[in-house]
Amino acid sequence: MSAYNNFTIETDADGIALVTWDMPDKSMNVFTVEVMDELDKIIDQVVADAAVKGVVITSGKSSFSGGADLSMIKASFDLLKDAQAADPATAVKKLFDTTGRMTWLFRKLETSGKPWVSAINGTCMGGAFEMSLACHGRVASNAKSVKIALPEVKVGIFPGAGGTQRVPRLANAQDALQMMTTGSSLTGARAKAMNLVHQVVEPDQLIPAAKQMIKDGLKPVQPWDEKGFKAPGGGIWTPASAQLWPAAPAILRRETAGNYPGALAILKCVYEGLQVPFETGLRIEQRYFTHILQTTEAFSMIRSLFISMQELGKGARRPAGIPKAEFKKVAVVGAGFMGASIAYVTAAAGIPVVLIDRDQEAADKGKTHSEGLVTGAIGKGRMSKEDGEKLLSLITPTPDYAALADADLVIEAVFEDRTVKKEVTEKIEAVLKEDAIFASNTSTLPITGLAKNSRRPNQFIGIHFFSPVENMMLVEVILGKETGDKALATALDYVAAIRKTPIVVNDTRGFYVNRCVFRYMAEAYDMLIEGVPAAMIENAAKMAGMPVGPLSLNDEVAVDLSYKIFKASIADLGAESVDLRHMELVTTLVEGEGRLGRKAGKGFYDYPPKPAKKKLWPGLKDLYPQQKPEDVDIQVLKQRLLVTIALEAARTMEEGIVTDPREADVGSILGFGFAPYTGGTLSYIDGMGVKAFVALCEKLAATYGSHFQPTPLLKDMAAKDETFYGRFAPQAKKAA
């Protein structure tokens, strides 16, 4: 045994050293500076020890490793910032050297002269898989928990520790590019088929099989270090490559609209790297990685999609000093689509749940929804039959409100109608135990108003799920005026238990996400009324980085829902609260044409029977005089769609609805897919610079209407040269 904090080493009678990576106080192994320092010393130790014939590296945890701790990347941003301030001339050189640390450590491992085998269990991602690729042999477990991936592109960077050089020297270039530019996960079997692992074995055979590779005479030399090595398919200058490489950038542009510099860098690294010796390829990769780390996209995506998401998931907004809630039983009232889905994710987290509706038939129908999801998951191999049966056994459908008497949390998910919600609240509270928390799942109705129906408004909170609940990672937790800390802590503990990411918002009509979504759809209405061809609106949205166009999104949420919301706004706030041209448009679709959205098979799109694809309704062009496509500036369309959403996000900060920029950013990406490369709505503004954003708003307002006018907060921030993350710094608030 050797003394390391993160590793143990045991050498057996055959001279094989088993290096077990098991970081103390962490649920998953990650690369840190200390881990790299220790791995460096281990390489030296096994090379110096003549008794060691080879090395097997594995994990002491249920997963191999999640890769590099991205706080190291964050530290690189800080280093760059400090170095640029002190000595701009050497700042990039310092960053280049720092980012190369892992690259050259792995190169040292693979040229150490002794064979290394990586024994992969569970998750093996990012830097951990890049280290495994540097090992001379790789054995993976055949367990369903095995996920092998290089997912860095999803947070704005790319595999920068040799991944772009080793993968295309093992797998064919097309598969290599597909794996790295999408960041998709591979099973052990798929990784073996791609030649990225050598063997896939039963979990209990993992270490014996890895050791056997060494006993069988595994060469301590990588294929690319042997004379005459050729990449699979023959490298760049072959007929097959002549078909692949001209098409690859075009396919990437179709998928990403050129918004992700990290994805394009992967193509460049592979294409250039395969034409030069391996170590030169590593330097090319290091150069591109240093460049990508300096982009606004990488900084913003890492901050929002990794650091902020982790902080929020770990309870950054949870009130201190309140014991963690234990959920022995949760009740969901309302077994419609949303309620049934909430019951499913609750049971999937191992929590017993009572599903209540007006009669047994309606309640049973709600459970049937879960049965369908379980059957689908088993069919796709994502769930075992036993796990499916266990999940379903946790859901009890009943019309009897007495069944929720001992529930720790009740989630009301009935029809979006104040009167219905009032009746249900009173029925629930008649049997609910004193210390239970009451949550309402509502997408638009203010929580403070709903809490007036409760005898204990301090224990009343909003929990807004997004559809489909089982797939959407975001939950909005809404505070009413009287909501207490215990209710907030319980809601956040519940969201953590069902493994979703929460954002906490104060009460307002539409809360945060829906306010932004409504602005997105409203801008599309404006464009239609101006005569912009519908196809240009949808394509501009995708080119701007949105996952779906605003008209398609409106069909998904239902056009008649927009119609109902307009009517409710007019009833509550008067005719001036809505744009009457928009009301006229949706009235025409809903009342005049019966086009209610996807659920009706027709909305802004027509939805023919599968396998035919949906297509825009041709009648849209007859509603308003059409502009010629060549007269429409696509760049302006893209700006309008992103700016209108970002402006609404800024308004919610100004009004105190959202109080933490992390939540505005994470909420916008997870809630409706706001252009992820920007890092979210407020990062989009900060990344552009508030001054530039205000100038763009004023320019758009002059042509397209006063809703583009920058708010007083934005003007003040522009004058003071501030950012949202500076003015509303979450860390500073925590310290205070």
Q: Which residues are catalytic?
A: 464
DSSP collapsed to 3 states, 221-275? CCHHHCCCCCCHHHCCCCHHHHHHHHHHHHHHHHHHCCCCHHHHHHHHHHHHHCC
Cβ density class 170-205: b for 16+ within 10 Å, e for less? bbbbbbbbebbbebebbbbebbbebebbbbbbeeeb
Please count the other Cβ atoms lying within 10 Å of the Cβ belonging to residue 77. Answer: 16
Q: What is the DSSP letter of 141?
A: E
Check: CB of residue 493 under 8 Å from CB of residue 522: no
CA distance linking residue 63 with residue 532, whole number of Å: 51
CA count, 13 A, side-chain hemisphere, 687: 23
Half-sphere exposure for 335 (CA within 13 Å, toward CB): 24
* Helices 33-48 + 88-110 axis angle, to 10: 40
Dump strand ranges (E) for 584-723.
Answer: 605-606, 615-616
Indicate the SS3 state at residue 496: helix
- What single letter denotes the amino acid at residue 303? R
Q: Give the closest residue to 689 by CA, choosing from 667, 668, 719.
A: 719
DSSP assignment of 624-639 equals SPPPPGGGS-HHHHHH
Helix or strand holding residue 477 (H, E) = strand 474-479
Rounded to 5 degrees, φ, ψ at 506 are -85, 165
Specify whether the CB–CB gap between 658 and 317 falls below 8 A. Answer: no
Q: Residue 694 and residue 714: Cα distance in Å, rounded?
A: 7
- Cβ-Cβ contacts under 8 Å for 542 (sequence gap 6 or more): 257, 548, 549
| 641's tokens | 């769609």
Buried b (16+ CB within 10 A) or exposed e, 4-28: bebbebebeeeebbbbbbebeeeeb
Q: Quick count: other Cβ atoms within 10 Å of Cβ 97?
A: 13
Sign of the Cα torsion 657, 660, 661, 663 reads negative
**Is 589 strand, coil or helix?**
helix
Interior/surface letters 292-316, b for 16+ CB within 10 angstroms, e for the rest:
bbbbbbbbbbbbbbbbbbebbbebb
Q: 76 with 98: CB under 8 angstroms?
A: yes
Q: Which residues contact 588 (CB under 8 A, 6 or more apart)?
A: 623
Q: Is 268 left (phi over 0), alpha (psi -120 to 50) or beta?
A: alpha
- Say if CB 148 and CB 185 are below 8 A apart: yes
User: Could you give phi then psi for residue 547, rounded to 5 degrees?
Assistant: -70, -35
DSSP 409: E
Count CB atoms within 10 A of the CB of residue 118.
Answer: 27
